Structure 1
Amino acid sequence: MTTPRVKTTKAFYRTGSTTWFASRHDQRFSFGLHIPSVHETTDTPLPLMVIQHGTARTAAQYRDAMAEFSERHGCVVLTPLFPAGIGDPEDLHNFKFIEYRGIRYDEELLAMVAEAGERFHIDTGRFLLQGFSGGGQFAHRFLYLHPERLCGVSIGAPGRVTLIDPDREWWLGTAGFEERFGAPLRLEEIRKVPVHMAVGAEDTETWEINNPGDSNWMDGADAVGRTRVERITALRDNYTALGIDVTLDIVPGVGHRGMGVLDAVRAFAERVLPRVV
């Protein structure tokens, strides 16, 4: 076995694909990172890509799948972990809708970004946010709240979408947005953020996303389509009608599989993240 050429165990587990850190802001939540090797040799703050997991909480798998891109592009990858069962032992979905029983998951993510910026040499002013499935739900709702923090957003196959529509109740639309979140929806700022959407062409199963009576259902969720392909297309159409520039990739031969759309995500990330190598 080769001995790592580092001075301490602490240093070893803080480089490459790191261990998992409990968030100082709320230690129920944690995050992992991939820190590219260029971090040791450059004075340039590294760009940041945040990948938000979905219902299955496969944060480590997404982090590891993007490690090679992190090294090649010179960006840090941060993957939050919001465990299931927070506040309700049976709950799987609460982070997707941003606010739950006094927890603001958008603010928890921003606290993790700030902490990572204190630990490592990262440009945390603006970052790329990507999420698939439940992560895609979180990502587009985060965009509505914090467009000024994003250099881009990649929204993957959300099962439930929130249209920018003040006549639809939250979370089908944005009625009551300011009253709920304490800030208005700033459409002009949202228009400045490059938006990418991705879904598999075969992502057509409906059993998980048409479930009346479950905690993550609202009547009318199927009004914009019954499949994820139909719903993300409706979201794209809503954005473009409001002057938001969107690239939608419908990936042939892929079902509901986040790893299957990552090549499209990488191509988008190449465009919006500066390269540091």
Structure 2
Amino acid sequence: MTISNNSLSLSMPPQDPPAGAVSQGDAMYDYGSTTVFTHRNDPRFAYTLYVPPAIRQPSNNVELVVAVHGTDRGFIKYRDAFAGFARWNNCAVLCPLFPVGVLGDNNRDGYKHLLEGDIRYDRVLLDMVEEVGSRYVKTFDTFALFGFSGGGQFVNRFAYLHPERLWAASIGAPGSVTLLDVNRDWWVGLRGIEQRFGKPFDLEALQRVPVQMVVGKADLETWEITHREGRGSYMPGANDAGATRPERLRTLRQTFETAGVKVQFDELPNIAHNSLQTIEAAVLDFFATVLSTRRSQ
């Protein structure tokens, strides 16, 4: 019998491991929708997980999906939004928490640009991935990455630095974009990325990553995303990609496709700036399709 839900299907329901395979405490807090863990390498950061029962089996093909919150830091709702998908598609879900004001300055935006003071948020995430693998005796050499709003900015920039670590990337409704344009300075473009991060941009690796860009057609508020001189991360060209999130994402798509990076572009009718509606309407199907192709190869 085939069970279908939101384009997710498999021939048999996922099987729980034998009773007694883990302690009652582990079963309650470390599997399924987990508790919140402090990141062992830097306790300023934390994460929560969804861990499917199949990960306890000696032989499994569990994949990892990472979902990065927006400015609201709603990381637990992201875990819950992906939990059903993860159970039926044999995936673990990692949702990091990058708090406001890590350096004591009430900065809400540091993680979006990957670099804040001496903090490299891309490395923090990669350390978390390694930590989760160690916790569950599973190696995640690659993973899928989704982010919405501020998290969409994170995915946009992380994909430039670490495309070899991604089996899919979904960039959701970023308020600001870093264009695939080596003639513009970072963060508006890519010029200076190697000097800033110590790693060159690998276009060929990015061309191998299935990329989705997704935004609601009604996501038209500009009060939070208009850059003003002398404030925040303003730099010349900060508003050049467009006034609204759909306009900016279309411009980002154009630079990707000009560089030979294929993009699935989903502009969703009747949706404004709503992460959960966006996940349900388009992101789950995108990851399910990529995952099916990946597992059939």
TM-score by length of 2: 0.88
Letter in 1 for 2:275: G
Per-residue deviation at 1:219?
A: 3.2
CA contact (8 A) 1:51 1:62 kept: yes
CA separation of 1:131 and 1:17: change in aligned 2, threshold 3 A: same
State yes or no: 1:234 paired with 2:255.
no
- Match of 1:221, SS state, is coil
- Identical columns (%): 44
Give deviations 1:211-270, integer Å, cap 9, x for gaps.
413313333221110000000000000000000000010011000111111131001110
Match of 1:20 in 2: 36
CA contact (8 A) 1:196 1:247 kept: yes
Partners of 1:171 and 1:244 lie apart in 2 by 19
Partners of 1:10 and 1:74 lie apart in 2 by 19
CA contact (8 A) 2:212 2:286 kept: yes
Match of 1:109 in 2: 125
CA contact (8 A) 2:54 2:60 kept: no
Match of 2:231 in 1: 214
Per-residue deviation at 1:126?
A: 0.7
Match of 1:184 in 2: 200
Give deviations 1:183-233, integer Å, cap 9, x for gaps.
111111111111001000100110000041331333322111000000000
Match of 2:285 in 1: 267
Letter in 2 for 1:267: D
TM-score by length of 1: 0.94
- Match of 1:20, SS state, is strand
Partners of 1:20 and 1:33 lie apart in 2 by 8
State yes or no: 1:246 paired with 2:249.
no
Match of residue 101, structure 2, among 82, 85, 91: 85
CA contact (8 A) 2:61 2:90 kept: no
Partners of 1:147 and 1:35 lie apart in 2 by 24
Unaligned runs of 5+ in 2: 1-18
Partners of 1:219 and 1:204 lie apart in 2 by 22
Letter in 1 for 2:265: L
CA contact (8 A) 2:46 2:98 kept: yes
Give deviations 1:129-160, integer Å, cap 9, x for gaps.
00000000000100011011000100001110
Partners of 1:42 and 1:155 lie apart in 2 by 34
Deviates more, 1:259-268 or 1:5-14: 5-14
Partners of 2:183 and 2:147 lie apart in 1 by 26
Match of 2:158 in 1: 142
Match of residue 47, structure 2, among 16, 27, 31: 31
Letter in 2 for 1:253: N
CA contact (8 A) 2:227 2:239 kept: no
CA contact (8 A) 1:52 1:130 kept: yes
Deviates more, 1:60-69 or 1:117-126: 117-126
Letter in 1 for 2:289: R
Partners of 1:62 and 1:218 lie apart in 2 by 31
Match of residue 202, structure 1, among 210, 218, 224: 218
- Match of 1:155, SS state, is strand
- Match of 1:66, SS state, is helix
Per-residue deviation at 1:123?
A: 4.2
Per-residue deviation at 1:164?
A: 1.5
CA contact (8 A) 1:48 1:123 kept: no
State yes or no: 1:258 paired with 2:275.
yes
- Match of 1:19, SS state, is strand
State yes or no: 1:120 paired with 2:136.
yes
Per-residue deviation at 1:121?
A: 4.4
Question: Which gives a bigger RCO, structure 1 or 2 (Cα 8 Å, sep 6+)?
Answer: 1
CA contact (8 A) 2:130 2:139 kept: no
